[in-house]
Structure 1
């Protein structure tokens, strides 16, 4: 099922960064710089991400109109306002409230929680070899034996990024920049070390990995 996100943010730099990150996570993103056409664009969307400070109608007013128009669509408010009064005002209609600055991984995790709560994201696991992997499942994957395998935050995000691109060869640069949200420096061994530790946890034989394949000279791939 294709997940379509309506993202309303007037700051072009922030908007581009967030929209690019969400698209890397395989969401379809409709990005608006104001709430002018939000009611029309909300049709068919799975979730709305709404900034508070907008030209014209502010996010609080726009959010109330959107919730009235599409009550079953979750709304995630974004704001630099951190006061409890602002949060309470937003949570009168919104389903979650995230303050800026935030890490892209936290935004993705909150989106997944809201999608599952609303029934718009299936809780069916992805089967990869002998593992069952659930989206945003507290950094745990499940072996076919029933054993739970706990991963670190970075290990889980690396694995989920590979799984969301099943069958695709991903470069070290793509993976690093998606997970760490910063430019990859040629020769950096950080990703390689994390993948080695990840393989030690999920592979039956880490020395001959069957889940995370190394594609020599290119990067990595996960196949079912």
Structure 2
């Protein structure tokens, strides 16, 4: 069963879409704002996102999702039909459907995105002595033991893994994981990286998985 994260503040439309998708066999988590998206995004196989939301608008929420979880397809669902809005949405989203729409069309577009996503997902990524099972969110060392991380350690590591060979600054990592502005001098990220290395590195004093790029930030080479 595929999990859909559906963000829509219009109760009438939300109920119709929610019921239709559940009847088609999907498990739907319906939110009426983007406030709790970060708490439940890890469960989602696909995100359906309205543009006009209370608080943060759908474009902002969608950009954050794609930045932190680039593997999760996003379908924008909006009454805003201008070319400018569509182009803005498609800068990060995988599809853009305008209201009103037919449930059959929405279901067909969801299936297309899920098929495309299944082809794109690499179940296992090998980095050094680690095997990262992307779909299952598991990390296994070469001795066969599963490495258990805290939620924040897992977020940091997966953020690096999803940007292989890219040098990420402390600011990028902090803002990508915590979704808050980085304060110069803050040691929070450094402390989390140290504890993360103690779990995933063979020799934490000489790390080979998470490289420190002196004066810039960190990188995971693949």
Q: Give the TM-score range, shorter chain.
A: 0.5 to 0.7
SS of the residue corresponding to residue 167 of structure 1 reads coil
Give 1:26's aligned residue.
70
Judged with a 3 Å threshold, the aligned counterparts in structure 2 of structure 1 residues 223 and 123 are, in CA distance, closer, same or farther, namely closer
Give 2:210's aligned residue.
212
Shift of 1:49: 9.1
Shift of 1:131: 0.3
Alignment partners' CA distance in 1, 2:168 and 2:110:
38
CA displacement 1:135-192 (0-9 Å, x = unmatched): 2535x31011111000111111100100111101001111111111111111111111
Shift of 1:194: 0.6
Give 1:82's aligned residue.
none
Q: How does 1:62-141 map to 2 (within 5 A)?
A: 62=101, 64-70=103-109, 72-73=111-112, 115=114, 119-120=118-119, 122-135=121-134, 137-138=136-137, 140-141=138-139
Give 1:79's aligned residue.
none
Alignment partners' CA distance in 2, 1:196 and 1:20:
29
Alignment partners' CA distance in 2, 1:186 and 1:71:
42
Shift of 1:10: 2.5
Whether the aligned pair in 2 keeps the contact of 1:7 and 1:48 (CA below 8 Å) is no
Q: How does 1:30-45 map to 2 (within 5 A)?
A: 31=76, 33-34=78-79
Give 2:183's aligned residue.
185
Judged with a 3 Å threshold, the aligned counterparts in structure 2 of structure 1 residues 68 and 223 are, in CA distance, closer, same or farther, namely closer
Alignment partners' CA distance in 2, 1:135 and 1:144:
16
Judged with a 3 Å threshold, the aligned counterparts in structure 2 of structure 1 residues 136 and 17 are, in CA distance, closer, same or farther, namely farther
State the TM-score, normalizing by the size of structure 1: 0.61
Alignment partners' CA distance in 1, 2:216 and 2:78:
37
Shift of 1:120: 4.6
Give 2:51's aligned residue.
9
Shift of 1:65: 3.5
Give 2:148's aligned residue.
150
Alignment partners' CA distance in 1, 2:123 and 2:189:
28
CA displacement 1:98-134 (0-9 Å, x = unmatched): xxxxxxxxxxxxxxxxx59x83553521111000112
Aligned residues: 166
Whether the aligned pair in 2 keeps the contact of 1:125 and 1:132 (CA below 8 Å) is yes
- Give 5+ residue unaligned stretches, structure 1: 75-114
Give 1:195's aligned residue.
193
- Give 5+ residue unaligned stretches, structure 2: 1-44, 88-92
